[in-house]
Structure 1
Amino acid sequence: MSKQALLIIDYTNDFVADKGALTVGKPGQHLEKNIVNLADDFVKNDDWVILPTDLHHKNDPYHPETKLFPSHNLANTWGRQFYGKLQDWYDEHKDNAKIYMYDKTRYSAFAGTDLDLRLRERHIDTLHLVGVCTDICVLHTAIDAYNLNYKIVVHESGVAGLTDEGQHFALNHFKNTLGAKVVK
């Protein structure tokens, strides 16, 4: 029997709120209800909800993103808190053993983390992806998931990119290159 997990990737104030340091803005804000509803559905079905969340330190000279993007998702800041109702949802459910939030420091939720080990221990073989940015962290997570032989489902109403072009490219890449199922 297939086991599944919902990965809510980087749905934080810095990536979504109007005043976020590296925001996708309104397209990301419109995902809020869909993401929380999906999380509720996964909890009701006794499935896993995993929240890989970007973590950075200001002006870190060893991190490649320091040269590419403004400081974002800094430890212990408003910017790193989950956006909108997802923060309330997480606060309400964080003691559930099937809810797992962890720090990541690279685009992919797999890079430098124990995510693959945790998924395999739990016999999870299907990953549902939502969050931001579709064309960066969601895409890199999907590529690693593909290379690790996970089944991938991307919820189109749960992802937003920095640009329309990036969003379009990533959605096509999920379907046509990674064999992911893209659902509305």
Structure 2
Amino acid sequence: MKKALLVIDYTVDFVAKDGALTCGEPGIVLEGYIEQLTKEFIDRTEAVVFAVDVHDKNDPYHPESVLFPPHNLRDTAGREPFGALKQLYHDHHEQIYWMDKTRYSAFCGTDLEIWLRARGIEELHLVGVCTDICILHTAIDAYNKGFSTVVHEQGVASFDAAGHEWALRHFENTLGAVIVR
């Protein structure tokens, strides 16, 4: 079965201590695991997608504008991959599909499903932030589109510990996802 790794929103704004909408330490500690897993997928020539939130400054029409402070603004350092992932992307950008997304789910309003289907991918491995927001919504869409889903517990985090725990149970018990512990 062909697999793809989706690294979702692992950016400076979502992870760095001074990020605009950071999950802080819970996100920071994921760095080594996500870096290693990304390298493994690249080494096995399996698909890697960096699905990265993008917003325009002062966009009054985006629903997140009233829910969260400005974050992952287009053409800012906040959208760069966090930590070692920045260099990894730089070194392997021809093997990593960078995909902008404007909603929680990496599928909503993007070509992700077409890109995956064209490559015969059937199993998605999810890492990044936030477990109970963008990872969750991506996993729900993956389920509804018939993809097998694997969530790496050591590769996901949130700024809401209770939401994180709830989402992990939901992935497994409601979406039938495999949780790698």
Is the shorter-chain TM-score for this pair beyond 0.5, marking a shared fold?
A: yes
How many residues in Structure 1 have an aligned counterpart in Structure 2? Answer: 181
- List runs of 5+ in structure 2 lacking aligned partners: none
Determine if the alignment matches structure 1 residue 57 to structure 2 residue 56: yes
Contact 1:131 1:158 in 2 (8 A): yes
Secondary structure class of the residue paired with 2:100: strand
Amino acid at match of 1:115: L
Shift of 1:44: 1.1
**Residue of structure 1 in register with 2:156 after alignment:** 159
**Equivalents in 2 of 1:27, 1:75: separation in Å?**
25
Amino-acid identity (%): 57
**Residue of structure 2 in register with 1:34 after alignment:** 33
**Residue of structure 2 in register with 1:134 after alignment:** 131
Shift of 1:176: 0.4
Contact 1:135 1:162 in 2 (8 A): no
Secondary structure class of the residue paired with 1:23: coil
Amino acid at match of 1:163: D
Shift of 1:78: 1.2
Out of 172, 175, 179, the position equivalent to 1:175 is: 172
Amino acid at match of 1:104: K
RMSD: 0.5
Shift of 1:163: 1.2
Amino acid at match of 1:25: G
**Residue of structure 2 in register with 1:120 after alignment:** 117
**Equivalents in 1 of 2:114, 2:78: separation in Å?**
29
Q: CA deviation digits over 1:125-182, x for unaligned, max 9?
A: 0000000000000000000000000000000000001211011010000000000000
**Residue of structure 2 in register with 1:150 after alignment:** 147
- List runs of 5+ in structure 1 lacking aligned partners: none
**Equivalents in 2 of 1:111, 1:69: separation in Å?**
19
**Residue of structure 2 in register with 1:105 after alignment:** 102
**Residue of structure 2 in register with 1:68 after alignment:** 67
